[in-house]
Structure 1
Amino acid sequence: MCNSALFRVALLGAVLFTAPSVVAEDDACGPVDMRQPGGSMENISVLDQDGTGLCYAYVATQMIDAYRFSKLPKPLPADIKSWQSSPVATAFELASGKFYYRNITNPFKGGGIICDAVNYSRKKGTCTQQALKENSDSGYAYPVTSYWELSLYLDFYERFHRLSSETRELENRDTENPFIHAADIAKRRKILEELTAPICRNFKAQGLLPEGLSSSLDALEEFLDKNNSMEFLLKTGLAACSKPENREFFDIPACTERAVFSKKNALKSVHQWLNSKDPQPMGIGICSQLFHQGRKYRGRWGAALSDMFGGTNCGGHGVLIIGRRKLQRADGKSTCQFLIRNSWGTSCYNYSGDWSCEAGNIWVDADKVAGSMLTRSVIGDAP
């Protein structure tokens, strides 16, 4: 999931210091589907964050691309989808450039804030997905089978570096128990020696270490001392992103993010946004348990207090609202639903049978969405 301490602190701050928006009452549930011809999401593909914590970057880049594609002169180029921005590159560049993200050595797990990614990209531009796919037969920025696998490599990379640093610190420390001290160092050194060869072999194959690096512990430790794993990855697998021809620059309004104070306020704000002319997608922070549990999920306001701020039972996640419809139920009544664009790929197995899934887009009851929302983010002025 994409839950993080950073996200929860930002949410709490927004709740405490942001005045609630005033929106007009609107009970209408007129049809909206941004995927349709001429809609802002017409040329935005369903993506898969592959088990990583990058949902916020997937939401942000789709918001950016939807806005800039919809403003381009028509007809659009036939290869327009290849211009889509890379969420992975955006997340790594944000983590490298934003001081309060710098402690995240593995951006795949860190989580983040939608508008941070949008507003950072407004200044720095984005790297295209096509540029990264051209570097790898697998379709990823690195020769790995998945970003989830790459995340595991990053974790291992950092743990090895930490063990190495701690061992050298012990070697330079005075102790009153020299025998125990020496035994501890020897044990750690043995582990490091045993790990060196497979790390060098496998990490070189994955593009995470330079081919010419000597497969010795001393050489590996020296390299790790000079290279933060995230910054090294920016220089290697994401090297194509430094080329001007692989970057997209655009003039879009700033992203505005608001905390959700109540279910009623959330519902009104989404309806108002969808009622605007040629609406753009709205990024929302939401409890992902709603997608798994269906209508039985009680939402933020009916569950544990911690869920109000994206606690573990909530499963904080980032998605897009890209449409609306009125569903006629078997009992003759109607229910307003929002169309959610998720980043779990095109499969439908992750979702409750209460929701209608259309290859990565799911129709969810509007009141349930509003009751599970944590934040809302839009390009432009927030409702």
Structure 2
Amino acid sequence: MKYLPLLCLPFLFPSISLAESTTCSDAKELYEGIKDSYDKTIVTRTVQMLKTSIKACGQTTQQLLGVDDKFLDSMAKESRKREFLRVKDDLDNAAKYGNTKQFEKEFADYSKEFGFDDYKNYLADKKQQGLDAEAKVRNSCTAVDMSKEMPATRNQDSVGWCYAFTAADLMSYKLKKNISAADIALSYQDDWLSGMDRGILGTAASDIGGGFIDNAISKSAKEGFCLESDVPSEDNQGGNFAENMRQLDFQGRNQILAQNLACNDLYSEAKKMFPKISLADVQDVVNKTVEEDFILGLRKKSCKNRIQAKPEVVSVQRKGFYNGYNDLISRAVSDEKYADIIDEQLSNKNPVGVGIDAYGFYDRRAPASTPKSVGAHAVTITARRFNEKTGQCEYKIRNSWGKGCSQYDKGYECKEGQFWMPKGDVLRRTWDVTYVK
């Protein structure tokens, strides 16, 4: 039997150039993106791009995707219908807390497009509700701003320590010193084996997990707080915070097992996280501790002069309901109750920490968390203002994602990693509030 020479293949199969093949692949990828996003955002332009890509591919929509153009058009139309519902939600939420003018035209245009005949009456009711709310909010939403009295915005990087960064924010304001978030987290997770699922000799991936703001403050207060300069919470001379910690943990425990006091390499690694530590300190930790407590031993050596706070300074209050991911969609405290708690503390020039659904930071219209999809996060509210342009009261959110602003919804005014979020948007995504008396 003779094998056909390679040169015969183009005559046996349809001729498809590399460029056409790439275009077809791109079209399929674009279609998958549309399927994933049409219920969250308008895809009209993306569908038109897809049709153009399919045409360049040289196949029909049916041949390439198994659906026809009418189906693609229906997805585009459905995406606009869902956007209409989101705009309606915007209008409804705005009317509860202030002026609705920023959503009125968009709501009217969509109503005409989709045949909502009674939209004028509906809109008139919401406008009046909003005007009534604005008159009330304008008087109560007095300006207060504590953000300038706090350290620069920090970045929690690769660890789930948002609760500790918020706790550090609250205590930094109270003590008028830059308190270490990493030290608070290490104190909170001092059993460490439950804080990091390390496995045998560190072979398992570490899980540097979350916690509660109030518990973290109360536990740290018992032994005193540490300065950020002694135990930095970010950067660590470059690299990934969690990875630096894993590497240090791995090296340290191996050295303890070997009882090897030649610690120069280990000392260099330890300095990334604990810049104030000495070589003698590292040797002492290796000599006197068990491997499970290595990181904690370094922590104690790094912060020898802890800041003690009087009990009345660290009287922590947590209001609300958060007992686990399965309870996130349950609310034991109403929006109005949260508003009263937050506003009372802000009026007393006291920042508050909130447990919040962070999906709304990326997209203010994002669906709320469910037990299967949780945006559990903690941030600090540092200021309040009345926005004359929107007729809404706003809170200033101090996050722990660094000083950038590109990750936040474009509708939120942001600077140096802190952004203004309408009060209504904050309240409908909040499940607990923590403050220090």
TM-score of the two chains, using structure 2 as the length reference? 0.52
CA distance in structure 2 between the partners assigned to 1:118 and 1:317 by the alignment = 17
Shift of 1:348: 0.8
1:285 lines up with 2:355 in the alignment? yes
* Structure of higher CA gyration radius: 2
Shift of 1:102: 5.5
2:154 is matched with: 47
Shift of 1:328: 2.8
CA distance in structure 2 between the partners assigned to 1:53 and 1:64 by the alignment = 19
2:400 is matched with: 343
Q: How does 1:185-204 map to 2 (within 5 A)?
A: none
1:169 is matched with: none
Unaligned runs of 5+ in 2: 1-132, 198-205, 255-262, 272-277, 281-285, 322-330
1:317 is matched with: 377
CA distance in structure 2 between the partners assigned to 1:239 and 1:113 by the alignment = 25
1:250 is matched with: 309
In structure 2, the CA distance between the partners of 1:253 and 1:128, relative to structure 1 (3 Å rule), is: closer
- Tell me, yes or no, if the aligned pair for 1:55 and 1:319 is still in contact at 8 Å: yes
1:366 is matched with: 423
Deviation per CA, 1:127-162, whole angstroms, max 9, x where unpaired? Answer: 1112236xx9x963xx6534133245379779x99x
In structure 2, the CA distance between the partners of 1:105 and 1:51, relative to structure 1 (3 Å rule), is: closer
CA distance in structure 1 between the partners assigned to 2:158 and 2:235 by the alignment = 16
2:345 is matched with: 273
Matched residue SS, 1:206: helix
**Runs of 4+ deviating beyond 4 Å:** 154-158, 200-205
Shift of 1:274: 2.0
2:227 alignment partner, one of 128, 143, 147: 128
2:142 is matched with: 30
In structure 2, the CA distance between the partners of 1:355 and 1:237, relative to structure 1 (3 Å rule), is: same
In structure 2, the CA distance between the partners of 1:284 and 1:157, relative to structure 1 (3 Å rule), is: farther
Deviation per CA, 1:301-345, whole angstroms, max 9, x where unpaired? Answer: xxx4x2xxxx5x33101101111112233xxx5111111111111
1:6 is matched with: none
2:302 alignment partner, one of 240, 259, 277: 240
TM-score of the two chains, using structure 1 as the length reference? 0.59
Matched residue SS, 1:118: helix
Partner amino acid, structure 1, of 2:141: C
CA distance in structure 2 between the partners assigned to 1:131 and 1:292 by the alignment = 33
1:227 lines up with 2:318 in the alignment? no
Shift of 1:121: 2.2
Aligned residues: 261
In structure 2, the CA distance between the partners of 1:267 and 1:211, relative to structure 1 (3 Å rule), is: closer
Matched residue SS, 1:111: coil
Q: CA RMSD in A?
A: 3.6
**Structure with greater proportional helix content:** 2
2:210 alignment partner, one of 111, 115, 127: 111
Deviation per CA, 1:167-226, whole angstroms, max 9, x where unpaired? Answer: xxxxxxxxxxxxxxxxxxxxxxxxxxxxxxxxx998675239x999xxxxxxxxx99x94
CA distance in structure 2 between the partners assigned to 1:203 and 1:88 by the alignment = 20
- Tell me, yes or no, if the aligned pair for 1:132 and 1:238 is still in contact at 8 Å: no
